[in-house]
A and B are shown apart, each in its own frame.
Chain A
Amino acid sequence: MSAEPPLLLMRGIVKQFPGVRALDGVDLEVRRGEVHCLLGQNGAGKSTLIKILSGAHQPDEGVIALGGEEVRLTGPTAAIRLGISTIYQELDLVDGLSVAENVFLGHERARLGFVRQGEANRATRDLLTRLGHPEIRPSTEVGRLSPAAKQVVSMARALSHDTRLIIMDEPSAALAHDEVANLFRIVRELTSRGVAVVYISHRLEEIREIGDRVTVLKDGRTAAVGLPAKSTPTSEIVSLMTGRTVEYVFPPRRPRPATGSEVLRVTGLTVPGVVEDVSFTIGAGEIVGLAGLVGSGRSEIIEAVYGARRASGEVVLEGRPMGRGRTAGRGGTAAAVRLGMGLAPEERKAQALLLDQSVAHNITLAGLGRYSRFGWLDRRRESAEARELVETLDIRPGDPDRPIKTLSGGNQQKAVLARWLVGERRLLLLDEPTRGVDVGARAELYAVIRRLADEGIGVLLVSSEVPEVLGLADRVLVVREGRIIHRADAQDLDEHRVLDMIMEGSAL
């Protein structure tokens, strides 16, 4: 190593959240002018590390040094002042302000409090031209821009500071192919000036093309530091990312009768631009897993099946075709529920739970029609049924009258599942059912899901965690860029191969 200290040095970073040790001693070293890639599966600790670097979180332990000097990143402003800019995946732009106003927000070009708008517009135009997008006008309201253009604006904002280090969190996720080329051109221009880029992406081919070195995170620890990005074999990278230190216990699969009836048949499902000609079936008692990256179209497939998203193609539930071009509300989701579908959405707290209400109320919510007679709710029957489900699913603490927000993530998720056991369910759609559920509670949740399947319900499961899909599902569909690129029995696949496929698209 040269005598010059690295631009950024992080040593032994630890960050603890209630119930989770998100980072457990992470090391990172970034040199001037390099593109340093950060790799790791979901939950490996990448986003926490970024948040610490951008000043949004403070580490519990560990040392951060910039240019050889130890620093404390006490807040976003402190990080920006030290020359660290972050471009988050969900871009931090204010829609109501113009492009130029967003670029200079918080450090306006002002004299006596008055913004020199002409100067800000000129400077913004220069930055946008440098970024290869002179056609974006500085005076346009940001809310009117396309996602790709918004990202360029975020980039311009990062450049408007005197930046030494830019963190890009999945910058290519929202971009079309030719726009990625432009992004890379910008990254190269930045690094040629000595700016360092911390680049986070799931796409290995991008890392090969743009990256200099790679740091791999696994379970909140650094699995490898500073591997050469171009020459490290894919198999080595993948094996560094896989092989969890925590082993999950998956319930045993039951051999299914070969003549099991079909619960769901999806034919030619297409959501323009996201999902392309997807067909599959789910049998009674079968768990089918969709493995794929965020943005691969797996959540959209679930939403389209549920009728919450406009799609073409055919969805047939137990021989009954669901309407075409269904949308939320208008016979879409309501019909789906009536005909026996149930959804446990990805954002449990935002989309599935009434946090202040009791466990019982959250469970019976979808089936209130069952307890009402002439508009009156039969509260006694409602709470009796809820109590029964709390016992069956072993929701703890076993008090149906507790506010649901006092329960752990795993038990909240059980309550969401319990909701769909009220009444006749034929098909359960589970989107990231174990997100935010701690490791110990996962096994219980897996057991519950398997038991539901054994009772004859079909289950469609989406998870970012490949081991979970492989361990829980009977059959696995690998999804990449909106298409099913591989299908196989879960027993015939291993984590290594699936990761290989969803990252490189090298099926077979």
Chain B
Amino acid sequence: MTVAADERLAGTGLVRRLLIRPELGAVVGAVVVFAFFASRSETFRSVAGVANWLDPASTLGIMAVAIALLMIGGEFDLSAGVLTGTTGLITVILATRYGFAIPVAMLAALAAALLVGFLNGLIVVRTGLPSFIVTLGTFLMLQGINLGVTKALTGTVQVGGLRRAEGYEQARAALAGTVSLGGADFRVAILWWLGVTALATWVLMRTRAGNWIFAVGGDERAARAVGVPAGRTKIALFMTTAGAAWLVGSILALRFTSVQANAGLGQEFVYIIAAVIGGCLLTGGYGSAVGASIGAVIFGMADKGIVFAGWDADWFTFFLGAMLLLATLANRLVRRYAEEVRH
């Protein structure tokens, strides 16, 4: 007994298997962008140059990976950008104004972040409102809190002086320090980013939680019908995103020793863009953590490359928009091709 599926299953060649990976568009994009800037600027392709453009990629990458998980699970989080500011502000305020040791202040910030994530998730799961709207609400509320509290406490729009707080040196070494490699200083955040990407990939590919994420994003009804705890999975995803926002907020606060009240504002879409360049579908159920990371690398390269090439940095967003369109078009073409081959 055979079904018609026989041949097409046997015909899964290596090339095709590579082609249908969600991150393909991002990889091609990254290679093209690298080749482009490397040919324009010698500094760009030097070790110091690489260290330089990996820096913005790292913090963005941590967030993009978390957002990618959430998007695969079928939801959005617009509050993630501002939440990086909120967590940084909490840490700095507790450490400088109330005398908390930095690790304690950071734990308090983490608790606050997880609470925000939990509430985001709970509202989305319980009410069935689109997460785009729910997190837009939290986004605006957090933005107001950040500004209002900061101004009330300091009379200005920033809090600083983290350098003098207890435990600063150790915390900075762990989160915002540098590592020498090949004659250049690489940010420790890059290691965190690689770790987060590896962890997320492992969860997605090898754990039951990963299965559930793809299932609730791909077909929530089907997932529920076989007993997947869809609500808990989604809440956990929102909390993961909030946790990542805390990590990035802490890294940035320790690096600059001060936080602006509007920190992280506008970044929420950048995370989503990186995840989409990395192959995530807006409709959920499809994407990869590695892809989102590569999306972040493209951002980093474009961000610094434009400066290295000696151009006006104002062109950055134009470049990004073009990248977004090209990468998603490539992803779409490849998916369609992969689907046609099997017919």
Flag if A92 contacts B218 (CB, 8 Å): no
Contact with B along A53-97 (1 / 0, CB 8 A): 010100000000000000000001100100000000000111111
Contact with B along A157-188 (1 / 0, CB 8 A): 10000000000000000000011011000000
The CB with the most chain B CB atoms within 10 A, among A56, A80, A108, A157, is that of: A108
Flag if B218 contacts A96 (CB, 8 Å): yes
- Minimum C-beta distance from B264 to chain A (A): 31
Flag if B3 contacts A179 (CB, 8 Å): yes
**Cα(A458)–Cα(B87), bound, Å:** 69
**Cα(A77)–Cα(B232), bound, Å:** 15
> Which residues of chain A come closer than 8 Å to B10, judged between CB atoms?
135
Flag if A77 contacts B3 (CB, 8 Å): no
**Cα(A168)–Cα(B319), bound, Å:** 54
The CB with the most chain A CB atoms within 10 A, among B210, B219, B224, B225, is that of: B225
**Cα(A101)–Cα(B210), bound, Å:** 10
| Contact for B285 among A54, A77, A94, CB less than 8 A | A94
Which of A28-36, A110-118, A232-240, A478-486 forms part of the interface with chain B?
Answer: A110-118
A245 within 8 A of partner (CB): no
- Minimum C-beta distance from B156 to chain A (A): 46
- Minimum C-beta distance from B22 to chain A (A): 10
> Which residues of chain B come closer than 8 Å to A117, judged between CB atoms?
206
Flag if B221 contacts A95 (CB, 8 Å): no
Flag if B3 contacts A113 (CB, 8 Å): no
Given contacts A92-B219, A96-B285, contact A182 B1 (CB under 8 A): yes
**Cα(A146)–Cα(B5), bound, Å:** 6
Flag if B218 contacts A94 (CB, 8 Å): yes
B155 within 8 A of partner (CB): no
B170 within 8 A of partner (CB): no
Flag if A76 contacts B219 (CB, 8 Å): no
> Which residues of chain A come closer than 8 Å to B27, judged between CB atoms?
none
Which of A136-144, A201-209, A220-228, A361-369 forms part of the interface with chain B?
Answer: A136-144
- Minimum C-beta distance from B213 to chain A (A): 10
Given contacts A94-B219, A135-B6, A137-B9, contact A110 B225 (CB under 8 A): no
> Which residues of chain A come closer than 8 Å to B207, judged between CB atoms?
110, 113-115
Contact with B along A477-495 (1 / 0, CB 8 A): 0000000000000000000
Contact with B along A104-138 (1 / 0, CB 8 A): 11111010011101000000000000001101110
Flag if B1 contacts A115 (CB, 8 Å): no
Chain B residue nearest in CB terms to A142: B218
- Minimum C-beta distance from B279 to chain A (A): 12
The CB with the most chain B CB atoms within 10 A, among A95, A97, A108, is that of: A97
Chain B residue nearest in CB terms to A175: B3
Flag if A92 contacts B208 (CB, 8 Å): no
- Minimum C-beta distance from B20 to chain A (A): 8
Flag if A148 contacts B4 (CB, 8 Å): yes
A278 within 8 A of partner (CB): no
> Which residues of chain A come closer than 8 Å to B210, judged between CB atoms?
115
Flag if A92 contacts B226 (CB, 8 Å): yes
B228 within 8 A of partner (CB): yes
- Minimum C-beta distance from B5 to chain A (A): 4
**Cα(A418)–Cα(B255), bound, Å:** 68
Flag if B286 contacts A96 (CB, 8 Å): yes
| Contact for B4 among A76, A94, A132, A146, CB less than 8 A | A146
> Which residues of chain B come closer than 8 Å to A179, judged between CB atoms?
1, 3
**Cα(A178)–Cα(B10), bound, Å:** 21
A145 within 8 A of partner (CB): yes
Question: Of residues 207 to 236 in B, which have CB atoms within 8 Å of A's CB atoms?
Answer: 207-212, 214-215, 217-219, 221-228
A149 within 8 A of partner (CB): yes
A152 within 8 A of partner (CB): yes
- Minimum C-beta distance from A114 to chain B (A): 5
> Which residues of chain B come closer than 8 Å to A145, judged between CB atoms?
5
> Which residues of chain A come closer than 8 Å to B342, judged between CB atoms?
144
**Cα(A136)–Cα(B7), bound, Å:** 10
Flag if A97 contacts B5 (CB, 8 Å): no
B126 within 8 A of partner (CB): no
> Which residues of chain B come closer than 8 Å to A94, judged between CB atoms?
214-215, 218-219, 222-223, 285
Contact with A along B304-343 (1 / 0, CB 8 A): 0000000000000000000000000000000000010010
Flag if A115 contacts B208 (CB, 8 Å): yes
**Cα(A140)–Cα(B20), bound, Å:** 12
- Minimum C-beta distance from B17 to chain A (A): 10
> Which residues of chain A come closer than 8 Å to B217, judged between CB atoms?
96
Flag if A115 contacts B206 (CB, 8 Å): yes
Chain A residue nearest in CB terms to B12: A140
Flag if A136 contacts B227 (CB, 8 Å): no
| Contact for B227 among A56, A76, A146, A149, CB less than 8 A | A76
| Contact for B5 among A54, A93, A108, A149, CB less than 8 A | A149
The CB with the most chain A CB atoms within 10 A, among B211, B223, B226, B228, is that of: B226
B180 within 8 A of partner (CB): no
> Which residues of chain A come closer than 8 Å to B218, judged between CB atoms?
94-97
> Which residues of chain A come closer than 8 Å to B9, judged between CB atoms?
135-137, 140
**Cα(A493)–Cα(B210), bound, Å:** 58
| Contact for B208 among A93, A96, A110, CB less than 8 A | A110
Flag if A114 contacts B219 (CB, 8 Å): no
Flag if A146 contacts B3 (CB, 8 Å): yes
**Cα(A117)–Cα(B210), bound, Å:** 12
- Minimum C-beta distance from B165 to chain A (A): 36
Flag if A105 contacts B228 (CB, 8 Å): yes
Flag if A77 contacts B227 (CB, 8 Å): yes
> Which residues of chain B come closer than 8 Å to A56, judged between CB atoms?
225
- Minimum C-beta distance from A141 to chain B (A): 8
Flag if A106 contacts B227 (CB, 8 Å): yes
Flag if B224 contacts A148 (CB, 8 Å): no
| Contact for A114 among B206, B212, B226, B339, CB less than 8 A | B206
Flag if A144 contacts B225 (CB, 8 Å): no
> Which residues of chain A come closer than 8 Å to B4, judged between CB atoms?
146, 148
| Contact for A97 among B206, B214, B339, CB less than 8 A | B214
**Cα(A133)–Cα(B212), bound, Å:** 26
Flag if A115 contacts B226 (CB, 8 Å): no
Question: Of residues 1 to 34 in B, which have CB atoms within 8 Å of A's CB atoms?
Answer: 1-6, 8-10, 12
Given contacts A94-B215, A94-B218, A140-B12, contact A76 B225 (CB under 8 A): yes
**Cα(A93)–Cα(B222), bound, Å:** 6
Chain B residue nearest in CB terms to A132: B1
- Minimum C-beta distance from A356 to chain B (A): 16
- Minimum C-beta distance from B277 to chain A (A): 19
| Contact for A106 among B221, B228, B285, B286, CB less than 8 A | B228
Question: Of residues 363 to 400 in A, which have CB atoms within 8 Å of B's CB atoms?
Answer: none
> Which residues of chain A come closer than 8 Å to B339, judged between CB atoms?
144
The CB with the most chain B CB atoms within 10 A, among A105, A108, A148, is that of: A105
**Cα(A178)–Cα(B109), bound, Å:** 63
- Minimum C-beta distance from B308 to chain A (A): 39
- Minimum C-beta distance from A261 to chain B (A): 43
> Which residues of chain B come closer than 8 Å to A105, judged between CB atoms?
211-212, 215, 223, 226, 228
Flag if A96 contacts B6 (CB, 8 Å): no
The 12 listed contacts between A and B (C-beta, < 8 Å) are: A76-B224, A76-B226, A92-B225, A93-B222, A94-B214, A94-B222, A97-B211, A105-B226, A110-B208, A114-B207, A115-B208, A144-B8
Known pairs A136-B3, A182-B1; list 6 more (Cβ under 8 Å).
Answer: A54-B225, A94-B222, A95-B218, A135-B5, A135-B6, A149-B3
On B, residues with C-beta under 8 Å from A are 1-6, 8-10, 12, 206-212, 214-215, 217-219, 221-228, 285-286, 339, 342
9 smallest beta-carbon distances between A and B, as pairs: A106-B227, A108-B208, A106-B226, A92-B222, A77-B227, A149-B5, A96-B218, A94-B218, A96-B285
